[in-house]
């Protein structure tokens, strides 16, 4: 990836596998990241994420639990399309305690329009299929096992410049150059 990159771990650690993004970004902190890359645990602070993005990033990588119907622990690499791009959904409804990535990106579009800032040119989601999103602390076994795989995927993205993302499940061998 070229330019400034923000890797954002998001999710609620008090709702089981919803804490995947937080766990993954914490595991990523054990690795040396290239210059211009920041990895931050945002948890449920979506408003803070939107405001940090105003500092000017070329790429945003969101680490999050993502239910898409696969087996628990399945990783997905999703590139945000124009329908989900910042500003594409109209003004964001602010609820500081429950902001999905789509809401954060919509808020960013609103903030950028008001400040003259520009949103990231590229937004990727490294998502993990959750097993349980119930009250409770700790990830399920399959999601715990997916955390190191997600870290490797992010490191590959940082090193390869990764072509287009497909939104397909990422198996043991990932071809990051698949077209949607």
- Give pLDDT tens digits for 161-176: 443 344 445 543 333 3
- In this structure, what CATH number is given to the domain that contains residue 10? 3.40.50.1450
| 177 is a domain residue | no
CB atoms within 10 A of CB 35: 5
Structural contact between residues 109 and 84, judged by C-beta atoms closer than 8 angstroms: no
* Of 129, 127, 124, 126, residue with least CA distance to 74: 129
| 178 is a domain residue | no
pLDDT of residue 55: 82
Report the alpha-carbon distance of residue 180 to residue 176 in Å, rounded. 11
| 19 is a domain residue | yes
pLDDT of residue 97: 43
User: Where does residue 109 rank: exposed (0-12), middle (13-18), buried (19+ CB within 10 A)?
Assistant: buried
* Of 25, 48, 22, residue with least CA distance to 37: 25
| 165 is a domain residue | yes
pLDDT of residue 164: 37
What is the domain range of residue 49?
5-170
pLDDT of residue 173: 32
| 117 is a domain residue | yes
Handedness of CA 128, 151, 64, 37 (dihedral sign): negative
pLDDT of residue 159: 87
| 140 is a domain residue | yes
Number of domains in the chain: 1
| 131 is a domain residue | yes
Read off the pTM.
0.75
SS3 121: coil
Please provide residue 9's backbone torsions phi and psi, each rounded to the nearest 5 degrees: -85, 120
Structural contact between residues 61 and 5, judged by C-beta atoms closer than 8 angstroms: yes
| 175 is a domain residue | no
Stretches in the chain below the pLDDT threshold 70:
1-2, 81-117, 160-180
Structural contact between residues 155 and 31, judged by C-beta atoms closer than 8 angstroms: yes
pLDDT of residue 105: 60
pLDDT of residue 12: 92
pLDDT of residue 172: 35
């Amino acid at each position: 990836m070229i330019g400034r990159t923000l890797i954002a771990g998001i999710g609620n650690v008090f709702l089981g596998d919803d804490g995947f993004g937080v766990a993954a970004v914490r595991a990523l902190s054990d690795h040396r990241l290239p210059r211009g890359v920041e990895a931050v645990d945002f948890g449920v602070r979506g408003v803070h994420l939107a405001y940090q993005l105003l500092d000017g990033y070329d790429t945003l990588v969101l680490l999050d639990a993502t239910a898409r119907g696969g087996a628990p622990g399945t990783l997905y690499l999703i590139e945000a399309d124009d329908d989900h791009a910042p500003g594409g959904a109209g003004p964001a409804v602010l609820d500081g305690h429950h902001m999905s990535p789509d809401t954060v990106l919509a808020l960013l579009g609103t903030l950028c329009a008001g400040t003259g800032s520009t949103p990231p040119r590229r937004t990727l989601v490294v998502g993990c299929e959750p097993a349980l999103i119930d009250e409770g602390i700790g990830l399920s076994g399959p999601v715990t096992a997916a955390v190191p795989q997600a870290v490797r995927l992010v490191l590959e993205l940082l090193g390869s410049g990764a072509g287009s993302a497909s939104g397909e499940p990422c198996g043991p061998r990932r071809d990051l150059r698949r077209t949607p």
